[in-house]
Structure 1
């Protein structure tokens, strides 16, 4: 029987894809993305639920803002140390085994954080959590390059990263509810219940990944031979136009270092908001934990819509730089306005919504920049390097905001610092040559 489409006679650039091709990518997306999105949702929930735990934990354990900020940030030291090795292992052994291992180990460590009693124990558990989770996010970014060409990957990465925003939509109210209703249950504090109840889903998802994820196109039994040929041809064509850099060249490449600096700047904004949003809302005069949780869901809900709309525009126009930079500018503006309107709950919520939507929209589209020119082992190492260096901002950002708040008795200086980094990241994104990334 004749194939519905000849993969070796694919249309050229600018030619509309066939109905068969569109149907094939829809089939792949419905099979992969719901699982990946769920995994990242619980990953991000475990990473930032410490922001809600702080509402009770800081008082119970006598943690200062500086101690909390350091503990929240030390996660990224462990994350940084194991990021590149983890991605190289994933490239060698496959995503199914390695992602399952990552998820089960971090779920266990997150749940065990409930037994923390001292600042030193807090630091240790956060460090181990980062070590366990290292490789998950860059591993998924690498995994998507096995399935989607660049002009489709921006939207797919965005759908995957909506989990960050959805974790805020779901996690805020759920975390606030757990803190309020479980406090004192079985003699445990609400923050202890928070860690254990939000760690268990990660373990369950790790088991699900083992049974449901496939490593490569060729291993997908749910694809026909024609569909596999089409997908593999599209990837082969794109890979042929990329630069396969040796590992040493990746680590010294000015392009990769530029990408790392851009990502570092955006991550400064991301974790400044993620770890401190409940505290910022509380500072406007809201005291009820559940109310704080409900209000914190608003910026993330708006961010989901913004992420999808802007990603669709970027893929449709095959333009990357401005679609990364403009949300970055919006994030900076929102952070500055949050300082100006800090004592009015609803104006502060408006500014924090602008900031959150801008920050979260810039991040997934950023990943269309380095994946446009890296291939093979170079992609595995390059993506991991960019993510690991960028995520050092996850250490610096909450610690800097906490230190500045303690030193000045105000959130204002910390938010202005984060806005400056968002502005820097947006300007650097515009400095990337369009020919390199607009594919």
Structure 2
């Protein structure tokens, strides 16, 4: 029940600012913990090989297996969240992934490594598409790319602090007879369990359950969102069959290519940097954080400008081409320019991702929106399986993971060409005059 009372309802600009302040810190913190637990195996890669005999190919497969079960569980997870509410479901997700991530400390070899990565994918499934769905309850289309960009700061912060924090925890090597990587998994997994209680206490399901909004303000927000959704999705937007719409399938393809690249960088960047010369684990961790600082700047600065369908599409295509250019530079340059290339590519990581999800959200509503966002994320995240697996195979066959960056750059160019065809909701398609004077859509 809303306890906030105001003589007159606050205007939309003030309410948007209030919603950002009240919601985004909680969501960003949850995503920080999510990515720490999902990707901390990157720092442990060498140690898992030395201590347990897990090869580069086995590591790449294990890193990618997470995304198989994650993808399979996305749609049912989002449909459950639509039914039971964000507060309960996000808290549940955090408890289960935190416990399983901590259990990575007990890995004994390839089999247990694979099993725990599969279980982690099931446990964490639904967080990202769940938040994408949750944002549609609060922010209109003009503000949603900005909100998504802020949420994706969680990935940046996790990768900025993940290297130094993980390296510091791994210095506990030998304490109580444990390896440093065991302490890292345990002590980075348990905070997610604790933070689940904060989410349970502080995150409102919808505007109507936010104590910091008046009943009139909450109703106004929900009515504005419902009106925009109805106008964009049209009469057919309720059906799950709409997830097979050509535009949504095209968005999935672009997202798939994007995720191949992002997760390749996440899982292999520390290993690539470690080949620049003799460096400590802490030095590698600090250098690994630099591209993610660039990604954070891009996520904060650029998505706010994607306020019209045309501008969003232009930014999406430019972002994909910039990512390709950056990886191309990283693939052919020495250490300094290679790291600069990674930073250039990373600037656009989450600008691209925040814009991609505008497309399915503009065409679906209700249960179809919940299932559709899960479907888009599930299919796209299969790139998180393909990317590390391919990079691991390339490293094994050529002896150098850098060779895989050229393949990723080419994939991004193809994605940019595909993105030129994307359209939001009821956005009119560009027309041209065909031979004979007949106008046709293109």
Deviation at residue 230 of structure 1 after TM alignment: 2.4
C-alpha distance in 1 between matches for 2:6 and 2:101? 53
C-alpha distance in 1 between matches for 2:305 and 2:362? 17
Deviation at residue 247 of structure 1 after TM alignment: 4.5
Evaluate the alpha carbon distance shift between residue 118 and residue 214 of structure 1 in structure 2; reply closer, same or farther with a 3 A threshold.
Answer: same
Contact 1:266/1:422 (8 A) holds in 2: yes
Deviation at residue 2 of structure 1 after TM alignment: 9.9
Deviations 1:116-155 (A, max 9, x none): 0110100000000000001111000000001111111010
Q: Which residue of 1 aligns with 2:431?
A: none
Whether 1:329 aligns to 2:321 is: yes
State the secondary structure of the residue aligned to 2:348. helix
Deviations 1:239-275 (A, max 9, x none): 2212343544134322222121111010001100011
TM-score, normalised via structure 1 length: 0.92
Q: Which residue of 2 aligns with 1:338?
A: 330
Deviations 1:206-259 (A, max 9, x none): 121111111111111211123213212211211221234354413432222212
Whether 1:67 aligns to 2:96 is: no
Q: Which residue of 1 aligns with 2:8?
A: 4
Deviations 1:307-353 (A, max 9, x none): 22211222388721111121111111111111111xx3222211111
Q: Which residue of 1 aligns with 2:165?
A: 174
C-alpha distance in 2 between matches for 1:436 and 1:268? 30
Deviations 1:375-403 (A, max 9, x none): 11111111100000111111111010000
List, as ranges, runs of 4+ consecutive aligned residues in structure 1 with deviation greater than 4 Å.
Answer: 434-438
Total equivalences in the alignment: 422
State the secondary structure of the residue aligned to 1:245. helix
* Aligned-pair Cα RMSD in Å: 1.8
Whether 1:34 aligns to 2:25 is: yes
Name the stretch that deviates more: 242-251 or 222-231. Answer: 242-251
Whether 1:212 aligns to 2:206 is: no
Contact 2:240/2:368 (8 A) holds in 1: no
Contact 1:151/1:318 (8 A) holds in 2: no
C-alpha distance in 2 between matches for 1:370 and 1:393? 18
C-alpha distance in 1 between matches for 2:193 and 2:31? 13
Structure 1 unmatched ranges of 5 or more: 6-18
TM-score, normalised via structure 2 length: 0.92
Q: Which residue of 2 aligns with 1:188?
A: 178
Contact 1:268/1:422 (8 A) holds in 2: no
Contact 2:313/2:422 (8 A) holds in 1: yes
Structure 2 unmatched ranges of 5 or more: 429-442
C-alpha distance in 2 between matches for 1:264 and 1:334? 19
Deviation at residue 437 of structure 1 after TM alignment: 5.9
C-alpha distance in 2 between matches for 1:377 and 1:119? 39
Whether 1:86 aligns to 2:77 is: yes
Name the stretch that deviates more: 362-371 or 68-77. Answer: 362-371
